[in-house]
Structure 1
């Protein structure tokens, strides 16, 4: 893709130009909503031209269990799924969804963790494309033959024991009411990991679903203590925490993901739980 930007985000205008170039990116639709309509059905009803659908539960996670609701996927299965939708090592990948880029961020983080070096997220996702008056299609693309071979470990992660021993800044990306333990709609216990600081993912974006400007995001994260040492992030199941890491990357910061997140942590009743602010 002929684009020299180093941002992990791509605008609608940039994507439109790239899709019309001699070297278009691989475009992946990662629509997913907890409790919402199935992403595959919505994809079939209309999606960006040339996009392939990626299923978060099937392609971007292993089955739920003791490691959480969205454990990291089996590497061979992940590689096969990515090759099937055309992901290749030397070709830019652009991701989008209709969930303020949360599911797209999971794919962004996974591909980079597995060694792909050129991955972007469409800022504003499907809504931004529609707002620009650009067309959708219901054409279902056939399988492709990408060459991407994932190799784990290109980005840092923590397991539950490592999170318990972590001495840096630990950010909880969930909504405040879940962090405080007032409600818990998905997991068996309410509250947060002791010592974690609440930093809700949804505060990374504006009302239009686009990420806040880099300077504003940087100010937000510095106010939380990001940049003063190591930072790790968790959420409910390792999805919106990837969104937090994407926002941090936009702002010029790095961080570590705890993939198991709260769903793994609270599954073991011997692990401590904190409530309140």
Structure 2
């Protein structure tokens, strides 16, 4: 099953016999914005224009629970998540396509949540809304209730202890910008640096300038250069489990299964007893 879909293929699928449910997950990281600046409102952007039939999904409220000991975007209550998906019309037997404003992080988080909880057919619109050349609409749809019931997978999810172990025994990728990995800056979380043993792998290097993913072979070569070999166990973290989902998706495009540390650096750095590494090297 492909993890991404082009805008042209999506346009064709929407006219087919089993059109996908569309989820609009526009979101931006706002924690580092200047004081007094209003928070980003993805729903407002959605209401100015979205793909026909798309339902807005709020990342902070429906794809995550409130910030706390589990990080800035811990897993949502699965009953709440399932109800949100059913309200959006998601059913187990219907394909789903998720998109955001183009960065791809939020759409990837929705993709990962649905895949990890058992939906068999979820794809992300490659390049997000900017890649779409068709018409947009402003009316808010009221889809028929879906039947999707989330059933979390037995694998694919890491906690802090498992991430630390994977950094020693496998390949743990840090999807944040290089300067955050090196500990040169930390605009959001309490401590700068990275998990000892983790490899710097900025998410931005998985995509072209227009936000679309690199071809699968180029991604395979990129991850090979980061130490991922055939049979490697791979995990990914970031600041709060959002951009890391984008890297898990890039790995899926490359044909490489990977696990997500949802708590990520926001959880790891909140415990002063956990070790922190700085500098360009994993150790």
- Whether the TM-score (by the shorter chain) exceeds 0.5 is yes
How many angstroms apart in 2 are the aligned matches of 1:98 and 1:266? 29
Partner of 1:193: 195
Note the residue ranges of structure 1 that are not aligned, 5 or more in a row: 1-5
Aligned-pair CA distance for 1:143? 5.1
Q: Does 1:53 align with 2:56?
A: yes
Of 22, 29, 38 in structure 1, the residue corresponding to residue 24 of structure 2 is 29
Residue-pair matches, total: 269
CA contact (8 A) 1:112 1:154 kept: no
Partner of 2:81: 78
How many angstroms apart in 2 are the aligned matches of 1:8 and 1:227? 21
Secondary structure at the residue paired with 2:161?
helix
| Alignment RMSD (CA, Å) | 1.1
How many angstroms apart in 2 are the aligned matches of 1:274 and 1:99? 32
TM-score normalised to structure 1 length: 0.95
Partner of 1:104: 107
Q: Deviations over 1:45-74 (max 9, x none)?
A: 111111000000001001110000000111
Partner of 1:163: 163
Q: Deviations over 1:165-201 (max 9, x none)?
A: 2221110000001101111111111110011100000
CA contact (8 A) 2:248 2:258 kept: yes
Note the residue ranges of structure 2 that are not aligned, 5 or more in a row: 31-38
Q: Does 1:242 align with 2:245?
A: yes
CA contact (8 A) 1:218 1:251 kept: yes
Partner of 2:260: 257
CA contact (8 A) 1:100 1:205 kept: no
CA contact (8 A) 1:102 1:242 kept: yes
Runs of 4+ that moved beyond 4 A: none
TM-score normalised to structure 2 length: 0.93
Secondary structure at the residue paired with 1:162?
helix
Q: Trace 1:57-136 onto structure 2 (pairs within 5 A).
A: 57-129=60-132, 132=133, 134-136=134-136
